Amino acid sequence: MTSRLLLCLILALGASLAAFAATPAQVTDDQLVAALTKDLSAHFQLEGDLQLEMLRPWVPPSTAASSWSVVITEYPPVPSSTMAVRCRVVGDGVQVDDPYLVLRASLWRDAWCARQPLAAGSAFDPTVLQARRVDSFRDRNALPASAGDSSFIFARQVPADRLLSWNDIARRPLVRKGEMVNVVASEGALSVSLRALALENGTQGQLVVVRNLDSRKDISAVVVADSRVEVSF
C-alpha cells in the first residue's frame, strides 16, 4: 500500500513539474543574449568566453510561449567589439519578432605575458611566462596561452610584465646562415648527398639558398630538418 501511494505521489509531482515547465511566458533579454552568444560563438568558432551587451534597448514581444528560440539571420562580416545582427525570435514555432540589434562584445581568454625579461633568440619556454586574462577583441595581437611550443623562439627582446604578441615569437630556424648543411639531391630512385654553406636562415618547409663550395654554385633547397635540406630535379 505504501509503495503504491509513493508511486502516485511521484507521478503527481512529475505532472506538476511538467505543467510548470510548459507554462507560457514572455522571452527575456537574458534569453535573447544567451542565444545570440551561443550562435555567434559557434558561427565564428570563437575560443574564449564571449560576453555580449545590447547597446540599444530591445522591447520583447508581448506574446507568451512555452518555448522560445532565437536564430541569427544576418551575421557581421567579422567578430569585433561592436557587432550588428539581425535575428528571428520564434515562440512555439511562430515568428514573433525580427529585431536588428547592435551589440557590444568582449572575448575573454588567457594570453601569454612575460614573467621576466626575455632575450631575443632564446627558446620558447612557458616557465618564464604567465597567463593573463585579456579581451582579445581589444588586444587582437595578444599571443594566446594555447600557442607556442619548442619549435618556436622569442624573436625579439621582451621586457618583464608585457603581453606577448605574435610578432614576439618565430619558428626556430633549422638552418642558420653561415652554417654547413647536408644537401640531399634526388631524382627518382637516385639520391646524392653533399655539403653546402647556408646563405640564409630557414625554418621547416622553407625555401633557402645554399652554396656548393666545390662548384661555387648557389642552389635553392627546402629545409626538412636540423642542418638538412633537399633538392629535387
CB-based contact 40:72 (threshold 8 Å): yes
Distance CA 171, CA 47 (A): 23
* Confidence tier at 232 by pLDDT (50, 70, 90): confident
Share of the chain above pLDDT 90, in %: 69
Mind listing the pLDDT tens digit for each residue in 108-145?
999 999 999 999 999 999 999 999 999 999 999 999 99
- How many CB atoms sit inside 10 A of residue 30's CB? 8
CATH 2.30.30.760 fits 180-232, yes or no: yes
Q: How confident is the model at residue 213 (pLDDT cuts 50, 70, 90)?
A: confident
Secondary structure element (H or E) that encloses residue 19, with its range: helix 2-21
| 17 close to 31: Cβ distance less than 8 angstroms | no
Nearest CA-CA partner of 65 in 35, 106, 24:
24
- Whole-angstrom Cα distance, residue 8 to residue 143? 59
Give mean pLDDT, residues 62-73. Answer: 91
pLDDT digits (tens, 9 = 90+) for 43-66: 999 999 999 999 998 988 888 899
Q: Tell me, yes or no, if the two domains 109-171 and 180-232 fold the same way.
A: no
The verdict on pTM exceeding 0.85 is no
Per-residue pLDDT for 14 more than 90?
no
Cell numbers found for residue 193: 648527398
CA distance 24 to 64: 5
Give percent of the chain with pLDDT exceeding 70. 90
> Is residue 89 within 8 Å of residue 32, measured between CB atoms?
yes
Contact 187, 208 (CB under 8 A): no
pLDDT in tens, 75-110: 999 999 999 999 999 999 999 999 999 999 999 999
Q: Which residue has the higher pLDDT, 225 or 4?
A: 225
CATH class assigned to 109-171? alpha beta
Confidence class of residue 188 from pLDDT cuts 50, 70 and 90? confident
As a whole number of angstroms, the distance between CA 229 and CA 177 comes to 13
Instruction: Break the chain into its structural domains and give their ranges.
Output: 24-107, 109-171, 180-232
Confidence at residue 214, expressed as pLDDT on a 0 to 100 scale: 85
Measured distance CA(211)–CA(55) in Å, rounded: 62
